[in-house]
Amino acid sequence: MVLRLERGYIDEMIAHAKEDAPNECCGIIAGSDGDARKLYRAVNAEASPYRYSVEPRDLLRIHNDADDRGWEFLAIYHSHTHTEAYPSPTDVRLAAGWPDAYYVLVSLMDADPVVRAFRIIGGEVTEEPIEVR
């Protein structure tokens, strides 16, 4: 299945990753019918270069706003500041709570950031294409 995102969402995730470096950033993209409607930046409660956790008040704020608009969480994104854009074992464990979402990773490991999308279902990681509009 293809994740369809406007170029602006890709640019915003990369900007967020760079701004929060050396710590990982995190956020959520919500929408309906598979179409992204809004990117929500969130605070990484871990404030760590190795882990992320969406700050609970941010998660509640984002969930309430998306729910009020009839949107669902399409993608959960975060950055890897020194490793490739591929889910770590910790990422796979955390994904159990949101099995329907895409997981988008932004890697700052190289000079040119890399953005990749995955589905993580039952511990199985599958890369999914991103269609940039």
pLDDT digits (tens, 9 = 90+) for 28-79: 999 998 889 999 999 999 999 999 999 999 999 999 999 999 999 999 999 9
Question: Beta-carbon neighbour count of residue 4 at 10 Å?
Answer: 16
In degrees to the nearest 10, what's the CA dihedral of 77, 83, 89, 91?
A: -10
How far is it, in rounded angstroms, from Cα 27 to Cα 55? 10
Whether the upstream peptide bond of residue 22 has omega within 30° of 0, thus cis, is yes
Give the pTM.
0.95
For the chain, domains (ranges, CATH) are 3-132 (3.40.140.10)
Half-sphere exposure of 83 (CA within 13 A, CB side): 14
Give ∠ CA 103-94-125 in degrees, rounded to 5: 50
